[in-house]
Structure 1
Amino acid sequence: MTKRVSQLNRHNLKFARQLRGYSSNDLAQKMGIKYPATISNWETGKRSPDFLSINKLSEILRVPYNFLINTESYSDENSVTLFRGPANTTKKVKLSFERKIDLYGKFISNLSKIINLPPFEFTDLQCKNADFKMTNDDKISQIAYNVRKKFGLGNGPIRNVTAFLERNGIFVVFTNDDSGVNALTKKIDGRYIVLLNIANQSSARVRFSLAHELGHILLHINYKSNDLNDKNQFRRMETEAHYFASCLLMPEEGFLLDVVSPTLGGLVNIKPHWKSSVQSMAVRLNQLGIINEIQKVNIFRELSRKYSRKAEPFDFGENRIPYEYPSLVNAIYEHLDGAMDKSLEIKGFKNNFIQNEFLGLKLTNKQDSIDTKPNLYIV
């Protein structure tokens, strides 16, 4: 009997197929396989493909060959996933995004074996409830205040929300996808990962989304899966995370000092300073009782008339507020000068593969080597 050069990891084949949003039939067609059951047999371990078939799978699924034969599993089925996107998002699309965040989570886990990553610093601020429980506005506001107090953020705008999360142990990564999915947050190997889709999103909206996901991590991440699947409870969690983001990004004491005029023009003037959308600022003024519901709606209508609800001033073009891209992984690679490439490549994390999956990553490819395990605690 001929000994195989390499053996397919059936779990990783299924992972890669789901990552690309393919069904077994889809993959069989792309492989030119007559019987779709062949794919199922490979994924259940009843049969195993030869070297040439694994190589073809690698090309079609756009994953490294080592990814399919590595003995390490990439999926994390046991952790709760907080998904944000349209209600009509298909299960296939949801699963594809979950596999994408799993991939990045495992990538970060492998980096942690090479370098000491920033620890999670929000544990003492998290709600401990394992079951769903409504959180009132006063408590949410207090938690947002406590975040600012603990990290010395003062009452002004947060300079860089992405860097703030990364410095304090929440790993952020961007993608650009036209599926309509907004964000996923998941705890993988003890680390919180936030995957944010920035397609057609302004920097102001991205900042708010990141603050929103932090709200979920502090308020809801310990809930059971059945609570997250309850539509009414999930809507309430979304409302709470939105309110948290408003309180965190626009603290009452500092924000109201800058609002000279609670009108469209007045909010447009302070937008570059606060780096928040006009709409979110109008909602915040309504929350604080400065304007009533009718005044808020009138600001929205005037915004639609003069500009666009989806393209406010400073959102796009030459004067746009710039994106705050994740920088932690880039800093790690620059610090190590590419020294960990070989160890990661063996596990399927080739530089060009990870760079193609996520936005803003600039991974070096040098062959220097080091023997020590350095520390990296700040971005």
Structure 2
Amino acid sequence: MMSISRSVKRNRAVLDPTRITLARELRGLSKTELAKILGVTPRTLQKYESEGAPVERASVLADAVGVEQEFFRLPANEGLSTEQGFFRSLRRATAAQRNTARAAAAIGTEVYTFITERFKLPVPNIPEIEQLSPAQAAATLRAAWGRGTGPLPNLIQLAEANGIRVLSLPSNAKTVDAFSFVRDDEAYIFLSTVKTAERSRFDIAHELGHLVMHTRESPTGATDTLASQELERQADEFAAEFLMPAEAVLPRSSREPAVPEIMELKATFKVSAIAMTKRLHDVGRASEWAYRQNCVELAKRGFRVGEPDGISRERSRVFDTVFPAIREKHNLHAEVAGHLGITLDLLHQLTFAQIPVSVTGDKQRASGEGPDLKLVHSR
């Protein structure tokens, strides 16, 4: 199992060094850059991150990295290394973006600790399926979740209903499409919000493939290997079958389907046009020639770089339920600042922009089609 280390002991005489590093990485700053902002030498900043900073530096540090002062007084958190999770698109991500994603993961787990201290969430329902092919694993997970072979509903809510914690990534980690990991027997998926809604659905399905097939494997690290590339291929194959089961696609499609039919199928299964085109080829409905011709036509229509007239972005039912409920009884800003040490703006970025940045007291509820989470106040 993958875990987040919390081995550094807390010293109340100084600001926690691991949290200084975490906040710096979250903002994508190098040590040299943060030292310049703070007006200290790189050597001084190195000391802050190894031994802790003087408590009187809390205000200037908080302003520099965009967190609350309390963030540095919370228990140590060394974060998640990129070797501990299944990260996508690492080759395209800069070191700063990888660090931002890793820091977001560490803070995201704390957000969920904050939630579970106040609400009861569904227990994890994630079977480990290691001996089956990706297609068989996808069918097994559908069966375990009672989904049959038809098109799937809101995937964020479906994952949440089965105990998986889904959060979004800050915009400065935009080239990391998605990643997943397990900590203390709880599964997490983090998604980029700069992708189309259809792409995000595929990313969730891809990460589900990792969670059910690869939890005992060595995750993808910073350097791609043949082994890690094979894990990614398997997760893609799982995602295609999970979202577009051959048993459901075949009776709904004709031989050599053209673009108009692809548009109908993509809308039915809520996937990208390119993904549906590839799926039709993979299940034998489209020849290689037809597949290539359809890809050319879709590219002309803008489907290589986006999803014209695509679906709406899916929402989390957890966030649409939990935070309005907290706001009914408390000042949400004060609760988040005091218990998590983060701003509402950062919480907004980690929760699919479902938390209003301005504290107005307005409640937002989703009418999502996923299963009812049946959240219950624990206190």
Cα separation, 1, equivalents of 2:201 and 2:129: 20
User: Which of 48, 69, 75 is equivalent to 2:73?
Assistant: 69
User: Which of 121, 126, 129 is equivalent to 2:129?
Assistant: 126
State the TM-score, normalizing by the size of structure 1: 0.83
* Distance apart, 1:377 and its partner CA: 4.2
* Distance apart, 1:338 and its partner CA: 5.0
**Distance change >3 Å, CA 49–CA 241, structure 1 → 2:** same
Contact 1:17-1:23 at 8 Å conserved across structures: yes
Identity %: 22
Contact 1:84-1:182 at 8 Å conserved across structures: yes
Contact 2:13-2:54 at 8 Å conserved across structures: no
Question: SS where residue 41 of structure 1 aligns?
Answer: helix
Correspondence for 2:43: 37
What amino acid maps onto 1:203 in structure 2? A
Verify: 1:303 aligned to 2:298, yes or no: yes
Contact 1:175-1:198 at 8 Å conserved across structures: yes
Question: SS where residue 35 of structure 2 aligns?
Answer: helix
| Unaligned segments of structure 2, at least 5 residues | 1-10, 362-371
* Distance apart, 1:343 and its partner CA: 6.0
Verify: 1:84 aligned to 2:88, yes or no: yes
Cα separation, 1, equivalents of 2:12 and 2:189: 38
Question: SS where residue 15 of structure 2 aligns?
Answer: coil
Cα separation, 2, equivalents of 1:78 and 1:156: 35
Q: What is the root-mean-square deviation in Å for CA atoms of aligned residues?
A: 2.8
Contact 1:101-1:184 at 8 Å conserved across structures: no
Correspondence for 1:325: 315
Question: SS where residue 91 of structure 2 aligns?
Answer: coil
* Distance apart, 1:222 and its partner CA: 2.1
Instruction: Map Cα deviations across residues 204-223 of structure 1 (whole Å, 9 max, x no partner).
Output: 11111111111111112321
Cα separation, 2, equivalents of 1:351 and 1:117: 24
Correspondence for 2:103: 99
Cα separation, 1, equivalents of 2:38 and 2:107: 23
Whose Rg is larger?
1
Question: SS where residue 66 of structure 1 aligns?
Answer: helix
Contact 2:319-2:354 at 8 Å conserved across structures: yes
Cα separation, 1, equivalents of 2:12 and 2:140: 57
* Distance apart, 1:350 and its partner CA: 4.6
**Distance change >3 Å, CA 361–CA 313, structure 1 → 2:** closer
Aligned residue pair count: 348
Moved over 6 A (4+): 363-366
Instruction: Map Cα deviations across residues 82-124 of structure 1 (whole Å, 9 max, x no partner).
Output: 11115142223211111111110121123222222221101x3
State the TM-score, normalizing by the size of structure 2: 0.83
Correspondence for 1:242: 236
* Distance apart, 1:229 and its partner CA: 4.7
Contact 2:128-2:211 at 8 Å conserved across structures: no
Correspondence for 2:367: none
Correspondence for 1:56: 60
Verify: 1:352 aligned to 2:357, yes or no: no
User: Which of 270, 287, 292 is equivalent to 2:287?
Assistant: 292
Contact 1:155-1:255 at 8 Å conserved across structures: no
| Unaligned segments of structure 1, at least 5 residues | 128-134, 316-320, 367-375
* Distance apart, 1:260 and its partner CA: 4.0
Cα separation, 1, equivalents of 2:157 and 2:43: 47
Instruction: Map Cα deviations across residues 268-299 of structure 1 (whole Å, 9 max, x no partner).
Output: 12322221112111211222122222221111
**Distance change >3 Å, CA 268–CA 121, structure 1 → 2:** same
Question: SS where residue 184 of structure 1 aligns?
Answer: strand
What amino acid maps onto 1:48 in structure 2? A
Where in structure 2 are the equivalents of 1:198-217 lying within 5 Å? 198-199=193-194, 201-217=195-211
Question: SS where residue 347 of structure 1 aligns?
Answer: helix
Question: SS where residue 290 of structure 1 aligns?
Answer: coil
Instruction: Map Cα deviations across residues 225-280 of structure 1 (whole Å, 9 max, x no partner).
Output: 58885521121111111111110111122222222462112111232222111211
Contact 1:74-1:103 at 8 Å conserved across structures: no
Correspondence for 2:260: 265
